[in-house]
């Protein structure tokens, strides 16, 4: 009597069980990698937003640097439950005249609900040329996919802060 070649039901069940056991860690690895990548992308975007404000402070005329404080706030606006990036807010000092209303942040920004706060302070220590320097503090906060209760609040999951000392080169006498 010849025996038929093939797999038994038990062998098939064992193969399915082994495949399922191996698939669970693989699925977890793919999911956690995707989450970590998303967090890293949001961190880099936050750094980009903070550096952008520091660059603004470097290029605008020193006597208008205080106006940067008015350019902070939520980088997302709510249009009836649909969150969209805001238009680029910059100081209208002639260099960006007519350009700022046309520039908008990427559609990828609303998922993190970025908020930027810019503070321009004076140097209070008694150092030479302190009236020719300004301390710029830029804080960018964001959430990882969770909508904040109030869009314009700074209450977010993550936060970075950059500081810069801006010099008014034209005011220094050497």
Its pTM stands at 0.73
pLDDT per residue as tens digits for the range 9-61: 999 999 999 999 999 988 888 888 888 888 899 999 999 999 999 998 888 88
Count: domains in the chain: 1
Label residue 4 by pLDDT band (50, 70, 90). confident
Percent of the chain whose predicted confidence (pLDDT) is above 90: 26
Is 1 domain-assigned?
no
Domain limits at 115? 9-171
Contacts of 159 (CB under 8 A, 6+ apart): 139, 140, 141, 142
- Say whether pLDDT at 62 is over 60: yes
Is 4 domain-assigned?
no
Q: Nearest 5 degrees, angle CA 20-CA 22-CA 23?
A: 65
Write the DSSP string, the chain: -PPPPS--HHHHHHHHHHHHHHHHHHHHHHHHHHHHHHHHHHHHHHHHHHHHHHHHHHHS-GGGGGGGGGG-EESEEEETTEEEEPBP----SSSSTTTGGG-B--TTGGGGT-EEEEEEEE--S--TTGGGEEEEEEEEEE-SS---SSTTS---SEEEEEEEEEE-GGG---
pLDDT per residue as tens digits for the range 136-173: 999 999 988 788 887 777 788 899 999 998 888 765 54
What's residue 78's pLDDT? Answer: 83
Is 3 domain-assigned?
no
């Amino acid at each position: 009597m010849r025996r038929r070649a093939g797999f038994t039901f038990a062998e098939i069940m064992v193969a399915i069980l082994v495949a399922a056991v191996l698939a669970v860690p693989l699925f977890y690895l793919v999911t956690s990698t995707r989450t970590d990548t998303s967090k890293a992308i949001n961190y880099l975007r936050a750094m980009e937003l903070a550096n952008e404000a520091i660059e603004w402070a470097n290029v605008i005329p020193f006597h208008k640097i205080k106006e940067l404080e008015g350019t902070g706030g939520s980088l997302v606006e709510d249009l009836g439950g649909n969150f969209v990036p805001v238009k680029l807010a910059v100081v209208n000092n002639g260099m960006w005249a007519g350009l700022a209303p046309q520039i908008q942040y990427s559609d990828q920004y609303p998922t993190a609900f970025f908020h930027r706060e810019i503070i321009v302070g004076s140097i209070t220590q008694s150092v030479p040329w302190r009236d020719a320097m300004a301390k710029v503090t830029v804080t960018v906060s964001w959430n990882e996919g969770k909508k904040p209760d109030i869009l314009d609040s700074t209450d977010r999951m993550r936060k970075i802060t950059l500081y810069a000392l801006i010099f008014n080169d034209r005011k220094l006498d050497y």
